[in-house]
Amino acid sequence: MRVVITEDDALLREGLVLLLRTEGIDVAVAADNADDLLAAIADDRPDALVMDVRLPPTHRDEGLRAAVEARRIHPGLPVLVLSAYVEDSHAVDLLSDGGAGVGYLLKERVGKVAEFVDALRRVADGGTVMDPEVIAQLLVRRKADDPLRTLTPREREVLSLMAEGHANAEIAEHLSISHGSVNKHIGNIFDKLGLHPDGSGHRRVLAVLAYLSTGP
């Protein structure tokens, strides 16, 4: 797997390079700004991007905007965004194209090497991975008429694990329930969120997007 890293903190950037190469992942480019990132991928699509949300010059959302632009240049390009803070609107923006292969993690996860590398591989394989802390904070921000409030506690657990990027078998193991029960819960989630089989888009991604967004 070939990845491009964009992180303006030199110590973290070099640490990411060393970590990924130790895990057998090829780091093609390690940039410190959005312009260099976009130039690096203009003619050569990597397998995934790993990038900070806040980059020079304003340190606001340059990384996010660069990630969105990168997916415009290379539709479906997997992107794993790192942030020092819980900024749920950024996660929603990144998911808003309805595509898979996106992740949003807090930088503290980088220290948990196996967890971080697993998240990157999931994203590179087309999965959607959200930081558990982001999910936890979003749970308390729902509107009173939000359809997510109609989910049972177990369905919310299942959807939370879906948002973290877990497959059905992993959800079953984590919750100590059968695969059939997981499938039933996911079907109920789709029904309650109005995500029917004849709708457009990837229903699993759309369910996660509904979970992260401020409205249905």
pLDDT digits (tens, 9 = 90+) for 6-39: 999 999 999 999 999 999 999 999 999 999 999 9
Nearest to 212 by CA among 158, 155, 151, 136: 136
Q: What is the pLDDT of residue 133?
A: 75
Tokens of 59: 């340190």
CATH superfamily of 2-136: Response regulator (3.40.50.2300)
The structural architecture, per CATH, of the domain 142-212 is: Orthogonal Bundle (1.10)
Task: Quick: pLDDT tens for 105-143.
Answer: 888 888 889 889 999 999 999 888 888 777 666 655 555
Tokens of 101: 């292969």
Q: What is the pLDDT of residue 29?
A: 95
Task: Quick: pLDDT tens for 43-94.
Answer: 889 999 999 988 998 888 888 889 889 988 998 899 998 988 766 565 566 6
CB 129 within 8 A of CB 123: yes
Tell me the average pLDDT of the chain.
Answer: 83
Render the burial of 11-50: b for 16+ CB within 10 Å, e for the rest: ebbeebbebbeeeebebebbbbbbebbeebbeeeebbbbb
Task: Quick: pLDDT tens for 184-215.
Answer: 999 998 888 887 775 444 677 667 766 665 44
Q: What is the pLDDT of residue 151?
A: 87
CA dihedral 46, 28, 86, 97 (to 10 degrees): -10
Tokens of 171: 């959800």
- Parse the chain into domains and list their residue ranges: 2-136, 142-212
Which residues, listed in sequence order, are joined to residue 130 by a DSSP beta bridge? 104
| CA geometry: angle 59, 49, 81, nearest 5 deg | 50
Task: Give just the sign of the alpha carbon dihedral 194, 195, 196, 198.
Answer: positive
Identical fold, 2-136 and 142-212: no
Q: What is the pLDDT of residue 210?
A: 67
Q: What is the pLDDT of residue 88?
A: 58
Q: What is the pLDDT of residue 216?
A: 36
DSSP string for residues in 37-74: HHHHHSS---SEEEEESS-TTTTSSHHHHHHHHHHHHS
Q: What is the pLDDT of residue 110?
A: 85
